Structure 1
Amino acid sequence: MKIIGLVSILCAVGAVAAIPTQSLHFGSIAARANTTSLVGYLGVFFLGNDPNIYFYLSNGNDAISFSALNGGNPILVPTLGTGGVRDPSIVSAGGADSGKKWYITTWDASQRNGSLSIFIWESTDLINWGTERLVQVENDDAGMVWAPDAIWDANKGQYLVHWASRFYPANDTNHTGTSGADMIRYAYTSDFVTFSTPQTFIDYSPTSVIDLCILSLGNGSYARFMKNETATNVFMERSDSGLFGTWTRPGGATAIVRSSVEGPYAYMDNLVAGNVTLILDYFNGDGYHPFTSNDLNVDDWADANRTNFPVGLRHGSVLSVTQDQYDALSAMWG
């Protein structure tokens, strides 16, 4: 341009046929201390112009070393909508649904008359994903729904699902005129079937923002990453007063993580408490590059060793896995 069991959501951009359904995508992982039960990572991505979902499994418990599953062939191939998805996110269930995973994404769409829906797959074992569904989450005056993601809101007892949209005047039904800036919208759901009325989460007009990822740091603290679509950079903000608290930029109001990037996704290290990996998609280059930090009170990200990080991966997400999950993924598609 992020578990009730296991659910996956995907997001895509391109030409869109009119369809009375929707598409969805999630991408956030809660912070944690060193947890020996987590033995590796599952990465889910799309590749360039190929709008399918590909799985990558870490080489052991290394957060920046991955190998393709299924011989490099896609794991999930959408059949609804335009038959393509992008920006996949995998979300772990919260509350009573702790056995599930959700996989969400957006489907191929344009900015003026794109998909207003999200794709959703659901699983309890990361192997069997059932039948995909499309769910409309946005109003008809929006031009698109891009890069959906989700995070469990313990205070609400539901999932906060967020995405990027732009809006047109109500009398511009064909969306041929001038739109407002891209902004981050959200809705709540408990089942990824029914969603609350969408509302605005982040509006930095006239600056356009897309590709939000939220990382829980525990105790009501969060870090969030998003793309400044106007200036084509990614920046970080932090809140120590909840999801709807006061957000500030470590490093100052103009601080950025990197320029000429998009699709930020952050995840905690399984072995070293406080270590965070952030992947950024160089959209005019060779895809994702990994970066690391051990202090999210500052905006200081070091380039990670990319030797064993695959080239060409596009906007996606990463989930920590247990030994049983790691073994099952390896046995099925390794």
Structure 2
Amino acid sequence: MNRKVFVWVMVFFLVAFSSCKQRQDNVDNPQVAYLAAYMKGDDDKHMYYALAENGFIFRVLNDKKPVLAASYDDQLLRDPMIIRDRSGIYHLVATVSWKNHPFTVWDSKDLINWENERLVDVAPEGATKTWAPEFAYDEENDIYFVHWTAELNDDWNTAAIYYATTKDFINYSKPKVLYSLDGTGILDANIIKVGDTYHLIYRNNGIWVATSAHAQGPYTNPYELTSENVEGPFAFSFYDGSGYAVVWDYFGRSSGFGLWTSPDFKDWTRITNESYPYYNDKVEFPEKIRHGSIISITQKEKEALLNTYGRK
């Protein structure tokens, strides 16, 4: 066996082993609850946690106090998004400034101790604003990427979704355009894979969805999910495998999240009320919750969070 073939064989087995280990971890440590990480309408310098142990009744942790603050730049911690990588490490990315380019990134093994806070500057040339970063995983190429909204030359109509790939959440490729409408500004993208299809959800005078067979696009065939004046959409899968949910931010007066669910990402059911107050006996989010993310967690993680932060 020549060296080149040997290397590719080793890569194949390492990827296969990692996938099998992750599947086994999911079997041995099933998800049992949802954790929301978010900013508040009257506080964009801190991250807050809320936990839903059953269904979608989210209760604030840490006696309503924040769990994390930023140290760099304008010290904002807007639009926090958490992803768990294939090795089990969590990574947090957030908007840190309205006027400067970088984002902030942290790492954590337990969702409690966040470390390695750092600035990541991957803004395209001419960018005057960058915001709402999120991480996504490209399964086909076994690589992660950060995507965000960038505006060029203070012109809202240039706002598009850019991205840069990374293997280690430290070093990044040069930025490329992931999705744009060529002359119409868009923002707040979120990506979820459903079956063999990637769905890119974004705001453009309502919430829209474009699809692709590849994580890095091209994304095409956009359709409107809702015409409501909302922003910050975030989609996640149910930990029991029964379907998907998408939340978005009723940013006017920081009035809360909307929640829709679907078994297949095609047919949707509104769970929150159509008008304010949005919450009912099926769903409740914390007061003044704004642009954040929701992940599923294990029993061990839930108990650690409750032991550390307690309930409301």
- Give the TM-score category using the shorter length: 0.7 to 0.9
How far did 1:239 drift? 2.9
1:100-124: CA deviation from partner (whole Å, max 9, x where unpaired)? 0001011131xxxx22111111001
1:83 aligned to 2:75? yes
- Equivalenced residue count is 274
Among 200, 203, 211, the residue aligned to 1:224: 200
Aligned to 1:14: none
Within-5 A mapping of 1:177-196: 178=155, 180-196=157-173
Aligned to 1:330: 306
Which range moves more in the overlay, 37-46 or 152-161? Answer: 152-161
Q: C-alpha separation between the residues in 1 aligned to 2:215 and 2:229?
A: 29
Q: Extract unaligned runs of 5+ from structure 1.
A: 1-33, 169-174
Answer yes or no: is the 8 Å Cα contact 1:293–1:302 preserved in 2.
no
Q: Give the superposed CA RMSD.
A: 2.0
How far did 1:237 drift? 2.4
Q: C-alpha separation between the residues in 1 aligned to 2:97 and 2:42?
A: 10
Within-5 A mapping of 1:70-219: 70-94=62-86, 98-109=87-98, 114-168=99-153, 178=155, 180-218=157-195
Answer yes or no: is the 8 Å Cα contact 2:50–2:286 preserved in 1.
no
**Identity of counterpart residues, as a percentage?**
30
Answer yes or no: is the 8 Å Cα contact 2:198–2:211 preserved in 1.
yes
1:42 aligned to 2:25? no
Question: Which amino acid is the alignment partner of residue 296 of structure 1?
Answer: F
Among 227, 236, 253, the residue aligned to 2:209: 236
Q: C-alpha separation between the residues in 2 aligned to 1:49 and 1:92?
A: 28
Q: Extract unaligned runs of 5+ from structure 2.
A: 1-25, 274-278
Aligned to 1:6: none
Q: C-alpha separation between the residues in 2 aligned to 1:167 and 1:119?
A: 20
Structure with the largest fraction of helix: 2
Question: Which amino acid is the alignment partner of residue 67 of structure 2?
Answer: I
1:307-334: CA deviation from partner (whole Å, max 9, x where unpaired)? 3322321000011001111111110101
Larger radius of gyration: 2
Q: C-alpha separation between the residues in 1 aligned to 2:302 and 2:88?
A: 15
SS in 1 for 2:307: helix
Question: Which amino acid is the alignment partner of residue 89 of structure 2?
Answer: K
Structure with the largest fraction of strand: 2
The two structures have a TM-score, normalised by structure 2, of 0.82
Within-5 A mapping of 1:255-294: 255-271=224-240, 273-285=241-253, 286-294=255-263
How far did 1:150 drift? 1.1
Question: Which amino acid is the alignment partner of residue 181 of structure 1?
Answer: T
1:68 aligned to 2:60? yes
Moved over 6 A (4+): none
Answer yes or no: is the 8 Å Cα contact 2:89–2:109 preserved in 1.
yes
Aligned to 1:296: 265
Structure ranking higher on relative contact order (CA contacts 8 Å, 6+ apart): 1
Question: Which amino acid is the alignment partner of residue 138 of structure 1?
Answer: A
Question: Which amino acid is the alignment partner of residue 90 of structure 1?
Answer: I
The two structures have a TM-score, normalised by structure 1, of 0.77
